[in-house]
Chains A and B, each alone.
Chain A
Amino acid sequence: MRNTVEPIDLTMLQDYEGKWVVLSKDYKKVLAFGDSIAELGNTVSKGVMMMVPETEGTFIPTSL
């Protein structure tokens, strides 16, 4: 039996464009955000850290 993981809905991250965020382990809440990981403090160890790229266009890594 193949395991299927829950879908991840990241649509709420549009409000955090260009920021670093920490999501809850179930990916449903933003626990912290900032312009750098230094601003996230120790919440990083409690959740899922990620960067929110700009959302103006579709994503192709045109400029690394």
Chain B
Amino acid sequence: MQFRLYARRGASLAREQQLPESIQRLIADKCPDGQPSVIGRSDLGSDGKYGEQWLALVGDRVLVCEPDGQTGKLLLDLPLRDISEVDIEALVGGSALRASVNGRKVRLICFTNALSNQFGRVRSQLDAAAKGKPIPEPEEKLLRCQTCGLVLGEDTRVCPRCSRRGATLRRLLGYARPYRAKLMLTGALMLIGTAFGLLPPYLTKLLVDKVLAPKSPVDKAFAAQHGIALLGWLVLALAASSILSTALQVWRNRLTAWLGGKVSFDIRATLYEKLQWLSMRYYDRHPAGAIISRLTQDSGGVQDLLAFGLPFLVANLITIIGVSAVISVTNWRLAALAIVPAILVSLGTRPLWEKMRSAFHAFWYRWGRYHSLVNDALNRVKVIKAFSQQPTELQRYNIRNTDLMSASVYAEQTWGTIFPVLWLLIGSGSLLVWYFGGVMTVRGTLTLGELMMFLGYLGMLYGPLNFLTNVVQWVSRALTAADRIFEVLDAEFESEKTKGDIVPDRIRGAVEFRNVVFGYDRHHPVIKDVSFQVEPGHMLGLVGKSGVGKTTIINLLCRFYDADEGEILVDGINLGDLSLWAYRGRLGAVLQEPFLIAGTIAENIAYGKPDASLEDIMAAAKLANAHDFIINKPDGYDEQVGEHGSRLSAGEKQRVCIARAVLHDPAILILDEATANVDLETEEQIQQAIARLVEGRTTFAIAHRLSTLRNADKLLVIEDGKVVEFGTHQELEEQKGVYYNLLDLHRKTSMVKAVGD
């Protein structure tokens, strides 16, 4: 019922906007000549229970009311001019829309998380109105399935309820299209192989009726004369058909193995390529372990299906059809006795598809979770040991492992129970044939040879039918896996929102933020109305406590995320219009956590410029004060850095990263310095290297130390996502504001340090 309300997308928006009559009367009463320009409907009553409240901006007043009898009850009436800002306060399980009224925060209306999107829109509209800006058009994001109304994630359009196995399978087979010729050959081999496979029971019939137990006088006479010769020929034919059918089967198996491998190779490659281009938002929401499992487990499942499941399915279907045709022609009554129970059982198994699918879905999901846990734990083995948390970790592990075990036991047990029972039911047909066929043979309406042939064909029929029920497992497992892969393939590309295509000749590095608003969760802004300008080649120091939004500004500048409101301009061009490729090519970063790829030092330095010569690499390393330590490694520039650079010290990693940035020669440089964990001499070397690196580049430095703050041309002091001070070191020092206090603190700690030394 619930879903039907959201049957269509338009309907859901209309429902949010349609004021009940009592509220309409109340509004007409309060503001006779105003039409509501912003409307929001909450799913909570003023008493905090599930109910209804409405917020409306009518003219210059914000009204909050709830339906109550003929005319609604007015809960709040605020003049718009008193409101300076509107934000959303995150509560537990819900949120509240909040207004700043004369410096005080006032809760306007509360709602559950189900409506956070809707109120995110209301917030930005109301906020714009309060600041005298034009009210933005409501932006409706498709968050529900258009067919069934099921709530979907922001990043997926695949509705698990509406996705059909057939569609998934068709899409999967689409990947086999390039190998059509081989696919058709496989099909032909299957047909011919099946035809040969059908011969032996028929030959058995001839053997019994013509040679071993001839009934008619003609046959008897023939058998007496040529019996042995005919026997020889028939056995030879039997041998030939078996050998040929086996040979064809081998050929076919080799072909399908190749096809399955190739197709899943293609899918894996597409998937990996897609992963490279997914937005950061996607990665924020999906743990690496789960993604890894899609690349490994899921694509393995798909390969199983393509290489083994599907070909066998088709081969067995052909066998079933062929056998059914032959035995029906021989004796349709007997054939019906054999086939009908089998068909009934097959139909009866259909609901089991769903059961198996969900059981295996649970199993795969827990695999992913298990994988993430192990991955996570192994990555912080040091922390675990340092805090002696092995027992806790073991406990956490055991919980996940038990989860995984119970899911796998459930899935396998369900299957293990269903399967033998099915086999028993299907096999019941052969008992019927033995009895009724036996009666016919005794009465002489069926020859012994025909009965033998029948039983032979039945043996061939039950095998494939049995497999058909077995294939439920293959197929349901693999289609679930395929669904999960396609879900990634269908996720939004990082640059889909704005496809920039401007490729400037060169980027000078002038950067401007214009009223930028951004939140990782779109409706809880972390960056609020930030504006500033940096000249090319200048260094901007970002100052502020942790968590105020410094890194977020950097993330926006890197275009890992797009600003929700406002503009970021580089050389006067909107960042969204610039080709992401060209832009990032001129962007360099030395981050707090130096990231290195597993490979040699030379490869790491040349990461942003793979075609760099050894001379370039060495020159960059020299500039970064890295050349000497590199040369002194046993393998020099060929030294392996290990996974995440584990074989290098912190200071060495930093310098390799600086060398990489030097070689990349970016116009805009991002510097998130951290030299806290290196000795003084190394720190000096790093400082020196950084000083050389920033020369002539627009630099954004997240500044932790005084020297950086002093060297910066301008400083941007941020508090709570807003710019509070902006100017040179000297200007800000004289202002005696936030920066001055920070500086004071810095000096005091340095003095303590000095005394301590």
User: Do A and B originate from a single complex?
Assistant: no
> Which residue numbers of B lie inside 8 Å of A, CB to CB?
none
